[in-house]
Amino acid sequence: MGILNVTPDSFSDGGMFVDRERALAHARRMVADGADIIDIGGESTRPGATPVPADVELDRVVPLVEALAREGIRVSVDTHKPVVMRAALAAGAGMINDVRALREPGAMEAAAAGHATVCLMHMQGYPGTMQAEPHYDDVVLEVRDFLVERAACCEAAGIARDRIVIDPGFGFGKTLAHNLALMRSLGVFKAAGYPVLVGLSRKSMLGGIAGRDVNERAAASVAAALAAIARGAAIVRVHDVRETVDALNVWQAIETG
């Protein structure tokens, strides 16, 4: 999954793809490099990000969904707003990626309409304050139980099991120790019976380990993506598609002979 942030303030690529033609060109580049899905975000989810009104988000996202879907590209939309979900689905999106796991009023119903896949992500708290003092007694079991419970709510709302993807939400209300514990136990999430999505690309956790600024974390991100796939991740959400696909191809050739 290639990341396309059409925001002025995302943590790594903020402001780079606000221009529509540049955004489309970048999406096409990621597909040519091997991305199967393009995840479009019109509101930053980084810690402390400013919320965006729905009309602004709609204007940023919907024309891109329409254009890419028309070209046969599989599009995911990163949003928690029901009105954006509905418009994105009508414009041809095949996936809703919600960092709030469809907890906003009306989000579940909006995502259930149609046949799109939904990605349910775990987040403790809200983007403004989530990194202040994250706390868990057992991070793996608490995050797993939350996601299984949200998936059950989705199924009760009519979203078939094979439309659901789960995501532990690396960096969303988690310390480095929490993130590492989740990564080491990714098999627990796979065992829950849903495909697992992992998003670690360029995140500060990797910066802390590698000692690199945000735009110098490609190698660290590729290592994290491969570690996630080795532990059972079905989808990795990345900025550096070409580098990730190259590494994955080499790794798979070695593994499968």
What residues make contact with ligand 9MG under the rule CB under 6 A? 41, 45, 78, 97, 99, 119, 121, 167, 169-170, 197, 199, 237
237 catalytic residue (yes or no)? yes
| Minimum CB distance to ligand 9MG smaller for 31 or for 130 | 130
| Minimum CB distance to ligand 9MG smaller for 129 or for 249 | 129
| Closest distance of CB 39 from ligand 9MG, Å | 7
190 catalytic residue (yes or no)? no
Q: Which residues on adjacent β-strands are paired with residue 167?
A: 121
| Closest distance of CB 238 from ligand 9MG, Å | 10
Lookup: tokens for 124 = 């403790």
DSSP category for residue 5: E
Q: Around Cβ 254, how many Cβ atoms within 10 Å?
A: 8
DSSP 3-state of 47 = coil
Question: How many DSSP H helices and E strands does the chain contain?
Answer: 10, 8
| Closest distance of CB 169 from ligand 9MG, Å | 6
Task: Give CA–CA dist 1/38, Å, rounded.
Answer: 6
From 100, 144, 174, 203, active-site residue: 203
| Minimum CB distance to ligand 9MG smaller for 234 or for 254 | 234
| Closest distance of CB 99 from ligand 9MG, Å | 5
The residue number with the shortest CB distance to ligand 9MG is 199
Lookup: tokens for 30 = 């990621």
| Closest distance of CB 91 from ligand 9MG, Å | 19
| Minimum CB distance to ligand 9MG smaller for 78 or for 240 | 78
| Minimum CB distance to ligand 9MG smaller for 159 or for 249 | 159
Task: Give CA–CA dist 52/114, Å, rounded.
Answer: 26
Q: DSSP readout, 150-209?
A: HHHHHHHTT--GGGEEEE--TTSS--HHHHHHHHHTHHHHHTTTS-BEE--TT-HHHHHH
Task: Give CA–CA dist 191/193, Å, rounded.
Answer: 5
For the annotated catalytic residues, the residue numbers are 203, 237
